[in-house]
Amino acid sequence: MSVKTPAQEDGRTAGLVERLVSDDVDRKRFLKMAGTAGAASFGAFAIAACGGGSKASGTASTASTATSSSSTGDIAILNYALTLEYLESQFYAKVLAANLFHGSAGALVKDFAGQEDSHVVALKATVEKLGGTPAEKPVGRFPVSNAAQVAELAYTVENLGAAAYLGQAASIQSPEVLASALAIHSVEARHAAAFATLLGKPVTPDGAFAKPAEMSTVLAAVKPFLA
């Protein structure tokens, strides 16, 4: 990945948060994309409100085409996220069936399982709302032998999930889809932190700023868990 300065990124001025993390190219791109998406939405709203002559109509038509293209890209990202959530949902289902955790830890795992199931439902509904077809459910295979081993695996899987969402944030066009993705990203990170506490591992393994993971990296990491 080539490094671009803020000036090279479409000539836009870097914001305060970007300057605070200026050494992280992916995060700068993410913040810029979020700002651009918001501006595009406001522009589309203004065009619709004004109505009028052929020039406005032509601009609205162009905006509609761009929106359609953006939706297609967002659908692909949502289906990528859905595939990961399918696997996480299956993982927790297998862990619950094994009955390895009890007491407060067992209640925590049960809560996490329900939340992953909710992510699946929400992502499928969003893909359908955008006119897409939800990704097919993969068949996962997860080694579940004892509580310590499962906690280690869960810690790895949840951190990977959080990094996967962050890695796609810069490519999401819709502000609403971006907000939803970040809402799930936040929960995945909290899951990882909970398992870190159980294992005595760092709650923030990457320090002050979480690191994103590219799609190729994530898919390579989950490949061993596919039947």
- Is 4 a domain residue? no
Structural domain includes residue 57:
no
We report the CATH number of the domain holding residue 108 as 1.20.1260.10
Digits of tens for pLDDT over the chain (227 positions)? 333 433 333 433 333 333 333 344 433 443 343 333 333 332 322 222 333 443 334 433 333 433 454 678 999 999 999 999 999 999 999 999 999 999 999 999 999 999 999 999 999 999 999 999 999 999 999 999 999 999 999 999 999 999 999 999 999 999 999 999 999 999 999 999 999 999 999 999 999 999 999 999 999 999 998 98
- Listed residue (189, 159, 88) closest to 96, CA to CA: 88
Amino acid present at 164: A
Q: Is residue 174 part of a domain?
A: yes
Residue 87 lies inside a defined structural domain of this protein: yes
Q: What is the pLDDT of residues 17-40, one digit of tens each?
A: 333 333 444 334 433 433 333 333
18 domain-assigned: no
**Which of 190, 212, 213 is CA-nearest to residue 203?**
190
Q: CA-to-CA distance for 111 and 132, rounded, in angstroms?
A: 29
213 within a domain of the structure (yes/no): yes
What predicted TM-score, i.e. pTM, was given to this entire model? Answer: 0.69
The tally of domains found in the chain comes to: 1
CA 111 – CA 108 distance, rounded (Å): 5
Give domain status of residue 146, yes or no: yes
DSSP state of 203: S
pLDDT tens-digit readout, 155-194 = 999 999 999 999 999 999 999 999 999 999 999 999 999 9
- The answer to whether position 46 is within a domain reads no
Phi and psi dihedrals of 18, rounded to 5?
-65, -40
Residues of the domain holding 86 = 70-225
